[in-house]
Amino acid sequence: MAWDIVTGGAGFIGSNLVDALLARGRRVRVIDNFSTGRRENLAEALAAAGDGRLEIVEGSVTDAALLRRCVTDVDTVYHQAALASVQRSVDDPARTNEHNIGGTLAVLLAARDGGARRVVYAASSSAYGDTPTLPKRETMPTDPLSPYALTKLAGEIYCRQFHQLYGLETVALRYFNVFGPRQNPASQYAAVIPLFISRMLRGEPPIIYGDGRQSRDFSYIDNVVEANLLAAAAPPAACGRVFNIACGVRVDLLAIVDLLNRRLGAGLRPVHEPPRRGDVRHSEADITAAREYLNYLPRVGFEDGLTRTLAWFQAQAAAASR
């Protein structure tokens, strides 16, 4: 059986994808430099792969020689590795460019030259920018507002060109605000839901940048993992294309605080800070194309996903206190 590669496989999304692939009997090779990925995220995978179905290669996707060695006897490359965060890219655009554009090009070259069947690329809804039209459709013009958004869009274009020029099968998935278990709240660039939960579990008020009326189409991790698996198995008509992956419903930040307060039996009022540069006001996805080409349908709604995520963080906090 050929291997599947998950770049960034020790990260939040990557490690959940690794678990799902192993559960389906696949052989998985993880490539991660552990700059943001965490070894503990692979504990379940290692336990599930006692028969040698999991390899962990420590290294960066910017290392072309390493990629050439890894992309041998490979079926699908799930390219999840990136330096995420809008704010991080504003602070350090050069490093974001190196990893997100240079790393993606290196992955595509290795996949092409190594004979991989397909590359599934983790794109981003940030490519749309702050256009007022909702919901966002893949046919809309793009207008990235940050270096991060620009680099993820460039990766999409590279995927399309590698399909057109070299015949490499590629599918790009525009993620909309993924959340769930294993998302790290400790980083200064952490996403909003783990930050809210971690602070509120400590009895601290959540911090909102802006008025809190900004809204997002939040995507629970199980939906995103399923989308990747569907993209890997989709018919050739899906190749060279990009698809929105979300639920098609937007929720504002004040509503999230209210939901968490109700589940925790708390009354914590958010602290408001000035809006951050590069942030988008509203985001909502049209998922018609993903339904048509990938047979994608989100199975976990936002409130159910928030309940599962909160339970995971509560269990982690309880384990840490023992």
C-alpha–C-alpha distance, residues 21 and 123, integer Å:
20
Which residues, in sequence order, are bridge partners of residue 181? none
Tokens of 194: 């783990």
C-alpha pair distances (Å), 134 with each of 57, 141, 281: 41, 13, 11
C-alpha–C-alpha distance, residues 131 and 137, integer Å:
11
> 172 — phi, psi (to 5°)?
-105, 135
Is there a catalytic annotation at residue 209? no
Active-site annotation holder among 148, 220, 293, 296: 148
C-alpha–C-alpha distance, residues 294 and 127, integer Å:
21
C-alpha torsion 216→222→223→227, nearest 10? 130
Tokens of 205: 């008020």
- Amino acid type, 9: G
**Catalytic residue numbers, as ranges:** 148
